[in-house]
Each structure stands twice: as C-alpha cells, then as structure tokens.
Structure 1
C-alpha cells in the first residue's frame, strides 16, 4: 500500500478576510459605543452644571417641615439652599474619609468630613456635613473651639447619599470612620432616626476654622466631547486600517 497525502484546498480570499473583518467590526462597534456613552455623559454633566448654577444662586429658604420630608427627592430638591435652626449633638459626630474635589473650594491633603446630628426644635434630627478636618485634627479635642454648643442657625444645601466607591474599604464604626457619605449607615450605628437627605453646611464657619465648610461650586470638569471625538476617531482609524489592509491582501491574492 502506498500512503497518499491529501492537500487541503487553500481558503478563498474572502474567507481569509472573515476573521480580521469580524474582529475589526467588533472593535469599531465598541469604540462607537464608547463615543456615544461620552455624549450621553456630556448631556448629563451639562444638565447637572445648569442645575447647580441655578440652585446655588438662589436665596436660602426655610427647611421644609418634617411632614414634607418624605416628598423631597434628589431630582427635585438636591442642591437647594435651606436655612434651619437647631442644636448640634457633637457626641454623635461621625468622620467620613475625604479627598479634594474639583467641584469644591477644597483644602489640600487627606482628611475627613465631619457629620454631626442637628436636633431641631421639634425633636427631629438631620445629619449635617459640617466640613473638612485634616487627619491630624480628626479628634474632637484638637478642635474644641469648633464644637459649638447651644442653638445655632445654619445655611446648608440639601444633599442625598452618594454611591459607595467601588474599591472603598469597609466602614470602621469602632474607629468612628466611614468611607462613603451614607447617612443611613451612620444613623444605624449612632442610634438616630433621620430623613433620606442630609445637609451640606455653607455658613457659618465655626470658631477656630474647623471643621472647614467645603463650598460646592458649579465648575465641574466637562471633557466628554473631547473624549467622544477621540473614541469616534479611533473607530474611523480602525475601519480605515482594515480596509487598507484588506485591499492590499485582495490585490496580492489576485496576482
């Protein structure tokens, strides 16, 4: 018997383009999707900037009465300036890990935001983000002048909890440290009954300067259009590279 070798037929030129073509198509689709996502982010960011600009420029109004609190929402009420009176419970303050933000008049360095319950005249409690303290001053005794006693009147922004950062460590109630502005989590440990919102203090700054109110400003970075153009340009470049390569390959196969 003699062994026979069977040569497989060479794939057609079109079949040789199939896999590279599919890979390029998927890549172009992903890049276009990223560009569209950036345009959606741009629309969201510009709407947020417009809302901030309008609401931060408005005069403060009295904090709605407790009966109206369940009807307040992030969409309709966040960043509105309110005026309210009460007494701080410094014995139940909480520290929320913080770094600077481009939207705020932020101090440099790492530290904490001081969340302190404010007890209103009717006995209701609202958490107030009183501002920033550096790590060296996180202990209340190092900033005793700022632990204002007795009734106070403040101007603050209505705020809602932030999404917990993806890689944030677990909160450490034993050390009185949290890693997200989550009033419900703080209230559960401190034994407080609070509304869904909290207050972000504007004025007055406390004696001694700490905690330092960190004022929100509508100067959010808006680079989404540049990012979208980059993604669309990469999609166009990838498509062009594939077509130039495919044209050259077909030309070589035809010779």
Structure 2
C-alpha cells in the first residue's frame, strides 16, 4: 500500500507539472496569435522549426500563387464538410510555402481553378505539417486524395522543390472575407473561406492531479485503517493468550 500511495503521489505531481506546462503553452500561443505578423521563417531556420517554438506564429509572406498545383484536403468546419485548399506560394527567392487559402464546400468549384499564376500577399498562422492522414484514413498520394495537410507528401506528388516544412492558414482578410457577410459572399462566389483556424488546448490536468492525490489520500486512509485494525487484533490475541496462560 505504501508503494501504491507513493505511485499516486508521483502521478499527481506529474499532472501538476503538466498543468503548468499547458498554461505556459496557452499563454505563448495566445501571444503569437495576437502579435503583429512577422516574416515567415526562411530556409535558414527551417531545420529548427518545431510545434513548441513556432506553431500558430502570426506570419506574413508574399509571392506568386501556383493555382494549378492546389491540393484539396478533407475538412470539417462550422460550415460543414468540404475541403481545405492548399495552394503553393512561390516567393521571389524560389522557395515555396503551402498556403491554406481556406475552406470550400464539397462539390463547390474553386473560383481560381484553372486560373493563371497570380501575385498574392498573405497574413496567417504558421502550422506544423500533419503527416500520415486523418479522419481514421491514410493519405493516398497516388490518387491525390488527402485527409491531412502533409506538406512533404503533397510537395513530392507535385514535384515541388525548396518547400517550407510548414504551411500557413491564411486569415479571412487575405481572401477578402474579414467580416461575416464577406464570408457568406465568398462562399457563394466559390472563394475559399479563410480565418477558420481552431485553437483549442484541452486542459484537464488539474482534475487529473486532484484525482491522483485523492486516490493517494484514500490509500493512506485505507492503510491507516488496516494497520489500526491489525493492531487491535494483535492486542486481542495477546490478551487472549495471557488469559489462557493464567487459566492454565
């Protein structure tokens, strides 16, 4: 019971540490999201980009959209099921960033489908590549069917070089739909709806910590009860043996 008690204490303490880590993460992400946009990280910083250091960084980039290379990635949003439109944006130095231009409904036609390459400036949130797949389904590069925004896999299929290891979720203003009525207009016109990034970090660590500490307290109480009961039994046996000795 002592081992179990110590185990529960360790688990509770670990959850407390996770709680402070999660609170710090939420604070850092909140600062990034609401900060003024900075230049999207270039090739010299690509190897050091991680979720902890760069996820949801508010960035700005400019270049030329390669509309013919757009990939559709399955999505579920507040507007229903559909696709994210990931379009390569080629910068002046030749590097490429995949831009999530936004959501488009299933069956809708991208207004830029078949359009010539065009210049663009984008503000948005840096996102880390989503490898493998999603929605309990694996990406199918050969069939150009995507269930997650896997940057490298999409780039390989389209034979794109010098591609950033991240993508950018374009904000609503980048597609001219900053207001709710603008989003409705964009949806009707076939324009992708940007600015739909959902930022949510489940934080149940305090509940978990209290649960583990509560179990530790219950174990300690049970241990105390068992030891007290055992002490009473030993005292009763000792008295009985003493009485039997006197009678003998």
Task: Output the TM-score relative to the length of structure 1.
Answer: 0.69
- Counterparts of 1:156 and 1:229 in 2: how far apart (Å)? 38
- Are 1:226 and 2:207 matched, yes or no? yes
- Which of 1 and 2 has higher RCO (CA within 8 Å, sep 6+)? 1
C-alpha distance after superposition, 1:26-52 (max 9, x if no partner): 433443333223222212211122212
SS in 1 for 2:164: coil
TM-score by length of 2: 0.71
- Given that 1:94 and 1:114 are in contact with CA atoms closer than 8 Å, whether structure 2 keeps it comes out as yes
Structure 1 counterpart of 2:18: 41
**1:31 aligned partner:** 8
Structure richer in strand, relative to its length: 2
Quick check: 1:69–1:195 contact (8 Å CA) kept in 2? no
2:88 paired residue among 97, 117, 120 = 117
> Partner residue of 1:208?
186
Query: How far 1:200 sits from its partner (Å)?
Result: 1.8
**Number of paired residues?**
220
* Mapping for residues 62-141 of structure 1, pairs under 5 Å: 62-63=39-40, 66=42, 68-70=44-46, 73-74=49-50, 75-99=52-76, 107=78, 109-134=80-105, 136-137=106-107
- Does residue 1:155 correspond to 2:136, yes or no? no
More displaced stretch, 238-247 vs 225-234: 238-247
2:240 paired with 1:251? no
Distance 1:122 1:32 in 2: 55
- Root-mean-square deviation (Å): 3.2
In structure 2, the CA distance between the partners of 1:175 and 1:214, relative to structure 1 (3 Å rule), is farther
Distance across 1 between alignment mates of 2:66 and 2:221: 65
Deviations 1:168-215, CA, capped at 9 Å, x for gaps: 432222443334433122222221221222212113236733532244
2:109 alignment partner, SS class: helix
Give the gaps of 5 or more residues in structure 2: 177-184, 237-248
Match of 1:170 in 2: 138
